[in-house]
Amino acid sequence: MENERGEIIACEVCENQLEQVKSQVGMSEEEFELLKTPRKSLLVNFPIKLDNGDVRVISALRVQYNDALGPTKGGVRFHESVDFDEVSKLAFLMSLKTSLVGLPYGGAKGAVKINPKNFSRAELERISRAFVREMKEFIGPRKDIPAPDVNTNPQIMAWMMDEYERIFGEKSPGVITGKPVELGGSLGRNKSTAKGAFYVIEKIYQDVRDKSSIKVAIQGFGNAGSNLALMLHNAKFKVVAVSDSRAGVYNPDGLNIPELIEFKNKKMPFSDYAKEGEIITNEDLIKLEVDLLIPAALGDVISEKNADEVKAKRIVEVANGPITPKADLILESKGVEIIPDILANSGGVIVSYFEQVQNLATYYWSEEEVDNKLKDKIISAYERVLEEKASLNAKSFRTASYSLAIKRILEAERLRGNL
């Protein structure tokens, strides 16, 4: 993509991240050139009628970063503060994620620049449908397959799929994943991001007999954060802090997670939770003295501004890109072990893949089957990362994960004759 001055619009963050692993991975200049820019992007602005008759022009975009391994895959988020660079970075991460866990997909990401809280349900439906009308040639079951991401959910996927099917006049459930089960969604997809992260965490702490000795803080209580909190709570880990976008609750003796989920289901903010524990800020949560810190909300929450004050021994990235590259270096020098997003939160896209397989075969699996296959895939990826880390003598899990993911993409590029 070029700007009005004819300059190539690259992804600065992607280039920086690649630069950091270039020598360790043994990437040539040509390979670096090929990976540092997104392949295709589409930016659209479309008018929407609000319920009161007013018209609003909405901006949206989709970036297909790399498609060497197959059709591109990745979520669509609804968020006010997204731009080309951010979405490109997220599409880049999706390319690495699908590659790392061995899926036959490239990577993409989309965003609609709105705060969904400011729109009614009917308006959100019109926005979702308009997004698909604008993107109808750009997406497709064999081109680019969207899915849920921040602030989007199965209902939004259902509207998007329905619009696509209306346009093309045929059923096409494989165009989108994360759909409601009634419309071809997979059992187990809704909890899959949390489940995948849970399997990895369970594996890491497999030798710890008394799980209640492990203190966990989780930032973000959306789909991934809340489901993971419950899974860890049920497995007897001590979840001492959770938070929503405004505030957190902290209790060093452990929180009653089922009760907190019930509280949130009533659409109440944690800042109003008076039952137990202390109300803290999101910033306080990041700095808590815990064994395991799980950022499960937005990106860049740990930066060079607060990385020094992180006291957690280990971080599992359930959000995409929660640690900035500068913070990553600080944490590494402090000896904090980080399980990167492209591994830790890959459960979502793994089950999206299963969903598409089921759609294309029109044969549906039990939840148990889905969960077992998910566990197999994510744990074998984790084990491959451990081996790569040892063989590269790499300091971080991130470098080892990037190395594996990049090598697989480059091999596909070579086989296609692009290198």
Residue 90 or 241 with smaller CB distance to ligand GLU = 90
Q: Does residue 73 belong to the site contacting ligand GLU (CB under 6 A)?
A: yes
Q: Which stretch binds ligand GLU (CB under 6 A): 17-25, 67-75, 114-122, 154-162?
A: 67-75
The pair of three-digit structure tokens given for residue 341, joined into one six-digit string: 């997003």
The pair of three-digit structure tokens given for residue 212, joined into one six-digit string: 């209640």
Distance of CA 304 to the CA centre of its chain: 22
The pair of three-digit structure tokens given for residue 91, joined into one six-digit string: 């599409």
What angle, 0 to 180 degrees and rounded to 10, lies between the N-to-C axes of helices 12-25 and 84-100?
30
Contact predicate 139/159, CB 8 Å: no
Q: Least separation, in Å, of the C-beta of 243 and ligand GLU?
A: 20
Does residue 109 have an active-site annotation?
yes
Q: Does residue 348 belong to the site contacting ligand GLU (CB under 6 A)?
A: yes
Q: Does residue 174 belong to the site contacting ligand GLU (CB under 6 A)?
A: no
Helix ranges (DSSP H) in 205-307: 223-234, 257-265, 282-286
Q: Least separation, in Å, of the C-beta of 179 and ligand GLU?
A: 11
Q: Does residue 75 belong to the site contacting ligand GLU (CB under 6 A)?
A: yes
Residues in region 310-339 near ligand GLU by CB under 6 A: 320
Question: One of 36, 73, 97, 109 is an active-site residue; which one?
Answer: 109
Q: Length of the chain in residues, anyone?
A: 419
The pair of three-digit structure tokens given for residue 73, joined into one six-digit string: 């895959």
Q: Which stretch binds ligand GLU (CB under 6 A): 23-31, 72-80, 225-233, 326-334?
A: 72-80
Amino acid at site 1: M
DSSP, res 148? B
Q: Least separation, in Å, of the C-beta of 147 and ligand GLU?
A: 3
Number of residues that bind ligand GLU (CB under 6 A): 12
Q: Which stretch binds ligand GLU (CB under 6 A): 21-29, 52-60, 231-239, 348-356?
A: 348-356
Burial track 205-239 (b if 16+ CB lie within 10 A, e otherwise): beeeeeeeebbbbbbbbbbbbbbbbbbbbeeebbb
Among 25, 111, 147, 293, binds ligand GLU (CB under 6 A): 147
Integer Cα distance of 194 and 149 in angstroms: 13
Active-site amino acid positions: 109
Binding site for ligand GLU (CB under 6 A): 73-75, 147, 149, 177-178, 320, 345, 348-349, 352
